[in-house]
Amino acid sequence: MRHEGNMLIAQGGGPTVVINQSLVGAVKEAMKYPQINKVYGALRGVAGLVNEEFVDLTQETEQNLEHVADMPAAALSSTRDKPDEQYCRDIFEVLKAYNVRSFYYIGGNDSSDTLHIVKQYAQQEGYDLRAVHIPKTIDNDLVCNDHTPGFGSAAKFVAQAFMGANLDNKSLPGVYIGVVMGRHAGFLTAASAAGKQYPDDGPHLIYLPERVFDVDSYIEDVKRVYERYGRCVIAVSEGVKDSDGNPMVTSLVDNVEKDAHGNVQLSGTGVLGDLLARVVRERLNIKRVRSDTFGYLQRSFWGCISDVDRKEAREVGEKAVQFAMANNQDGSVVINRAGDYAVDYQFVGLEEVAGKTKYMPEEFINKEGNDVTEEFLKYVKPLLGSEWLRTYRLQAPMVSQNASK
Amino acid sequence: MRHEGNMLIAQGGGPTVVINQSLVGAVKEAMKYPQINKVYGALRGVAGLVNEEFVDLTQETEQNLEHVADMPAAALSSTRDKPDEQYCRDIFEVLKAYNVRSFYYIGGNDSSDTLHIVKQYAQQEGYDLRAVHIPKTIDNDLVCNDHTPGFGSAAKFVAQAFMGANLDNKSLPGVYIGVVMGRHAGFLTAASAAGKQYPDDGPHLIYLPERVFDVDSYIEDVKRVYERYGRCVIAVSEGVKDSDGNPMVTSLVDNVEKDAHGNVQLSGTGVLGDLLARVVRERLNIKRVRSDTFGYLQRSFWGCISDVDRKEAREVGEKAVQFAMANNQDGSVVINRAGDYAVDYQFVGLEEVAGKTKYMPEEFINKEGNDVTEEFLKYVKPLLGSEWLRTYRLQAPMVSQNASK
């Protein structure tokens, strides 16, 4: 940083259970640099920034910072605002007024975009400003990154949910559908397979937004699995679409309710699961069909944290400050897989990450589009952390049935 | 046990994450008694019992039994069958054919009822049989019990879900509705309050099946909380009913969609939450309203176990065998709170537990019927176990807004 001044940090978009690790990593690292005077935290992301709602993070005890690091959800609060040009201009004016010389935004690709535009205003005015993006998203859809902070813990939640749901379904057989977050990228839904161990373990079918969801194929798939195992566990991404790219909720209403009067609510969170359950019930005449929509627990459930994810989330915060200070550069911290399993961190230009979406690569999805591959499992398992659980079953032999004959 | 012979154990109804602790507790205890020859496990509860589908649990390694004890869901598989008189007669005939002299059924109050009837057939024929009920239910609705095995862990899941949801909702304010299991008794929904710490922590409103759910009062409640905190977290039991005793789902359809053509699906798992969200959106004009239905994760999520619940579930299995063997008696093991916090176990007649339901006592619900009392919190907290988490918030002071003026 060429100019002595203040630093500002904010959190944007949907929170994760490790987003405060990144916050605390950056704040504690920043306090080591004498040219940084104050470390401000903007409340509610860019929304609080333009309203000048800042807290002075240099007046936090180290004890409390470390406790807050372990809390799910954004400690500074977040926002869904996606700034347009004027909004970015307003952000820049506030930064200037507070002599902010480095601006760190923890968020997805929208945050990177915002930083990119704010930086352009700074350049136009010759104002020395470091604009730094710290990645975060449970969707794992940021380009340039092997994976993103927040994904590992959410993936662990989804995997553990399906491990339990699989055993529950084995106890009381039927069809179970779990609807997982992910509107465009299927990584989180795919993670449902990470806990599979025995050949008959579910989820037996996995549907991702990267493939067209065809109702007839779905019904055929469920029929085949159900005939084989007497039960079927299904993971579906909330973002699955039909061949025209329309969300399946719309499509299913046509399919299931041909005489509908249009009164089915399309926007409710439980609707997709309910409709997917109903089509199985009606077409396959299976009685016990249940659906769960995992919802916000996936990103906020207390106490389900991947230790690998926690460590990396902390490190991207620290590295963000180190990269910016050491090289006097703007950019986005990215996670690179450097071994099996090891990572290193790199710093790329903001424009490389901004506004782009990463999808599941071809080799992670099976040919039929209803499951993941071994390659995906190899990719995802290290991200779930070291505290991993194994399934055990009774091994006792059957008793011969001669007694009552 | 007057007659040497075999023992049979089975698991019935909805599983829990500690139901296998009770299984293993009983099996290991039984192996200490020379008059018990074989320990059979019936697959799929009474359904496998009448089909003579048994495994020989004396041929399990201790290692594997201990691993299986830690698994969620019923290791022997379960059933929803509620035997009638003839079914019970068939059960008795199979028990007799296999020289089963003690029959242990891990389940809710239906299981106790089944045991009671089977025992009557044994008495009619002068067949010496111990019929023993081992309690289990996440609903916590068994009479004679201070609480039931399985409840503590499910309550911990619900409490941790709301702790996370509360912070998520604080990060991105709006109205959040979490729908919790419990058709008749509100204990599990009430447990949502166990993680509250700061005065503004949610859930701010809790609706239980023990009180009439009135839509107008609900809307008034939400309005008041939202005006005060700018957000509102709500816990609702899936079993809430209107003043005529009808499930709210039916009632809300009339309320929300006066011109509906009857096409709204009533049986789907996500419907109640979606409807409760919609009525807030429409009447209070609040944009960000979200609902989650926690579903099967509450009873099956891997890795969310209360250590207190785990220990007690193990002990009720052990005590079941001890009570039956020591006194040559039938009965149901019940948990009695003997201190703060300590329990002891007692053995009551099957007919005392059979077919009855326990509800939240009056002193656990506030006068307005929209929250729990301090007395309930005192009751529930010890059941969640020792690994309890605290909430921490940033304490940093606000920065004065003079810079850009």
| B98 within 8 A of A403, measured Cβ to Cβ | yes
Rounded to whole angstroms, the Cα distance separating B296 from A162 reads 10
- Ramachandran class of A369: left when φ > 0, alpha when ψ lies in -120 to 50, beta otherwise: left
Question: Which among A257, A165, A150, A275 has a CA at the least distance from the CA of A219?
Answer: A275
Rounded to whole angstroms, the Cα distance separating A87 from B10 reads 64
Summarised one tens digit per residue, pLDDT across range B310-339 is 999 999 999 999 999 998 999 999 999 999
Inter-chain touch A404–B72, beta carbons under 8 Å: no
Give A364's DSSP letter. Answer: G
> Is residue B392 predicted with pLDDT exceeding 60?
yes
Summarised one tens digit per residue, pLDDT across range B110-140 is 899 999 999 999 999 999 999 999 999 999 9
Q: Residue A133 — φ and ψ, nearest 5°? A: -100, 130
3-state secondary structure of B139: coil
Mean pLDDT computed over B38-63: 97
Rounded to whole angstroms, the Cα distance separating A34 from A266 reads 54
Give me B323's structure tokens: 């009570």
Longest dimension (CA), chain A: 94
List all residues 6 or more positions away from A216 whose beta carbon is below 8 Å from its beta carbon.
none
Distances in Å between the alpha carbon of B201 and those of B164, B168, B225? Answer: 11, 11, 11
Q: How many CB atoms lie within 10 A of CB A261?
A: 11
| A206 within 8 A of A370, measured Cβ to Cβ | yes
Summarised one tens digit per residue, pLDDT across range A321-357 is 999 999 899 999 999 999 999 999 999 999 999 888 9
B61 to chain A, any CB pair closer than 8 A? The answer is yes
Which of A260, A296, A303 is the closest to B168 by Cβ? A296
Q: Residue A331 — φ and ψ, nearest 5°? A: 160, -175
ipTM: 0.94
B8 forms beta bridges with B40, B103
Rounded to whole angstroms, the Cα distance separating B360 from B354 reads 18
Question: Which among A112, A41, A113, A103 has a CA at the least distance from the CA of A78?
Answer: A41
How many angstroms separate the CA of residue B362 from the nearest CA in chain A? 30
Which of A55, A295, A389 is the closest to B398 by Cβ? A55
Q: How many CB atoms lie within 10 A of CB A128?
A: 14
**Residue B270 has what pLDDT?**
80
A274 to chain B, any CB pair closer than 8 A? The answer is yes
> Is residue A1 predicted with pLDDT exceeding 70?
no
Q: A259: pLDDT confidence band, cut at 50, 70 and 90?
A: very low
> Is residue B404 predicted with pLDDT exceeding 80?
no
On the 0-12 / 13-18 / 19+ scale of CB atoms within 10 A, A124 is exposed
Residues of B acting as catalytic residues: 139
Mean pLDDT computed over A203-225: 97
List all residues 6 or more positions away from B386 whose beta carbon is below 8 Å from its beta carbon.
B307, B308
List all residues 6 or more positions away from B309 whose beta carbon is below 8 Å from its beta carbon.
B18, B149, B150, B151, B152, B153, B156, B383, B385
Q: What is the reported pTM?
A: 0.95
Q: In the sheet that A342-348 helps form, which strands lie side by side, from edge to edge?
A: A54-56, A36-42, A5-11, A100-107, A130-135, A331-339, A342-348
Mean pLDDT computed over B51-80: 97
Q: A402: pLDDT confidence band, cut at 50, 70 and 90?
A: low
Segment among A67-71, A322-326, A392-396, B354-358 with least mean pLDDT: B354-358
Tally of helices (H runs) and strands (E runs) in chain B:
14, 11
> Is residue A257 predicted with pLDDT exceeding 80?
no
Summarised one tens digit per residue, pLDDT across range A23-43 is 999 999 999 999 999 999 999
Mean pLDDT computed over A301-314: 96
Mean pLDDT computed over B247-274: 61
Which of B195, B278, B292 is the closest to A295 by Cβ? B292
Inter-chain touch B164–A294, beta carbons under 8 Å: no
Amino acid (one-letter) located at B385: G
How many angstroms separate the CA of residue B344 from the nearest CA in chain A? 30
In 3-state terms chain A splits into helix, strand, coil percentages (rounded to 5) of 40, 20, 40
B31 to chain A, any CB pair closer than 8 A? The answer is no
**Which residue of A lies nearest to B94 if distances are taken between CA atoms?**
A404
How many angstroms separate the CA of residue B80 from the nearest CA in chain A? 8
- Chain A residue numbers touching B274 (CB-CB < 8 A): 265, 268-271
DSSP E strands in A36-189: the ranges are 36-42, 54-56, 100-107, 130-135, 175-180
Give A103's DSSP letter. Answer: E
Give me A7's structure tokens: 């630093």
**Residue A263 has what pLDDT?**
41
A10 forms beta bridges with A105
Mean pLDDT computed over A220-237: 98
B403 to chain A, any CB pair closer than 8 A? The answer is yes
pLDDT, mean over chain B: 92
Mutate which: A79, A162, A172, A181, vs B, most B CBs within 10 A: A172
**Residue A254 has what pLDDT?**
59
Summarised one tens digit per residue, pLDDT across range A124-170 is 999 999 999 999 999 999 999 999 999 999 999 999 999 999 999 99
**Residue B246 has what pLDDT?**
86
Distances in Å between the alpha carbon of A341 and those of A52, A146, A308, A347, B260? Answer: 42, 12, 10, 20, 56
Distances in Å between the alpha carbon of B331 and those of B12, B168, B327? Answer: 17, 46, 11
